[in-house]
Amino acid sequence: MALIEILAPVERRHPKKHEPVEAGFQIFEVGGQTYLQIVTYGTSERQIKGVVSQTIQFGPDGIAALRDVLKTLP
């Protein structure tokens, strides 16, 4: 699990597109602050299906950073 508060650009020499996976999200509040949680379930070839593979949370600062990144997309 990861709680993201800062997003910084990175340079990759050989970026590649990953295989599609199922994902879900949840928006919740803790202590009056809003969080976005995204979970992924792995590829269709995964041995155990329906089990959460990764969980990523964005706190208030992370949500603001994600909005800024999304604004730069065409």
Question: What's the pLDDT at 60?
Answer: 97
Number of domains into which the chain is organized: 1
Distance of CA 8 to the CA centre of its chain: 14
Rounded CA gap, 49 and 41, in Å?
7
Domain that holds residue 42: 20-71
Establish if 50 belongs to a structural domain: yes
The two three-digit tokens of residue 24, written as one number: 């879900």
What tens digit of pLDDT does each residue of 27-55 get?
Answer: 999 999 999 999 998 777 777 777 888 99
Q: Looking at the domain assignment, is residue 11 inside a domain?
A: no
pLDDT of the residue at 5: 94
What's residue 51's pLDDT? 84
Amino acid 48: pLDDT? 76
